[in-house]
Amino acid sequence: MIAKIVQTQSQEQDRPFCAYLYDLTKLRNHVNSLMTTLPSSCRLFYAIKANSDVMILKALAPIVNGFEVASLGEIEKVRNIDRTIPILFGGPGKTHHEIEMAIEYGVTLLHVESLHEIKLVNYIAMQKKVSVSILLRVNLRHSVPSAKLKMAGVPTQFGIDETEIDMAISLIEGLPNLELQGFHFHAMSNNTDSKSHASFVDHCYELTKNWSSKWELDIKYVNVGGGIGINYLQLDKQFDWEDFTEQLEKVLEKHNDKSWNTLFECGRYITSSCGYYAAEVLDIKQNHGEYFCILRGGSHHLRLPAAWKQSHPFTVIPVEKWPYSFERPEVIDEKITVAGELCTPNDVLAREVIISKLRVGDILLFSYAGAYGWAISHHNFLSHPHPERIYLDRDSLIKQYGFVNEGMSFEAKT
Ligand X SMILES: *Cc1c(COP(=O)(O)O)cnc(C)c1O
Interacting residue ranges for ligand X, rule: CB under 6 A: 47, 49-50, 68, 70, 90, 186, 189, 225-228, 265-269
Q: Quick check: is 18 catalytic? A: no
Which among 314, 384, 279 is positioned nearest to 342, based on CA atoms? 384
Residue in 18, 42, 274, 343 annotated catalytic: 343
Query: Least distance (Å) from ligand X to the CB of residue 76?
Result: 18
From 112, 131, 331, select the one nearest 223 (Cα to Cα): 112
Angle, nearest 10°, between helix axes 115-127 and 165-173?
20
Q: How far apart are CA 290 and CA 286, in angstroms?
A: 5
- Interatomic CA distance for residues 258 and 255, integer angstroms: 6
In the complex with ligand X, the residue whose CB is nearer, 94 or 186, is 186
Residue among 319, 317, 280, 284 nearest 301 (CA)? 280
Q: Which is nearer to ligand X, 338 or 375 (CB)?
A: 375
Q: Which is nearer to ligand X, 150 or 268 (CB)?
A: 268
Quote the least distance from Cβ 190 to ligand X, whole Å.
6
Which residue's beta carbon is nearest to the bound ligand X? 226
| Among the listed residues 110, 119, 60, 67, the one whose alpha carbon sits nearest the alpha carbon of residue 90 | 110
As measured in angstroms, the least distance from the Cβ of 194 to ligand X is: 14
Closest CA to 274 of 87, 102, 29: 29
Report which residue type is found at 357.
K
Task: Pick the closest to residue 376 from 274, 311, 303 (CA basis).
Answer: 303
- For the chain, what percentages of helix, strand and coil (3-state, to nearest 5) are there? 30, 30, 40
CA angle 24, 365, 380 (to 5 degrees): 85
Q: Measured from the CB atom, is 50 or 358 closer to ligand X? A: 50
Q: Are 216 and 235 in contact (CB under 8 A)?
A: no
**Nearer residue to ligand X within complex by CB, 228 or 284:** 228
CA-CA distance, 101 to 298, in Å (whole number)?
37
For 27, the 3-state DSSP assignment is: helix
* CB nearer ligand X, residue 270 or residue 295: 270
Q: Which residues are catalytic?
A: 343
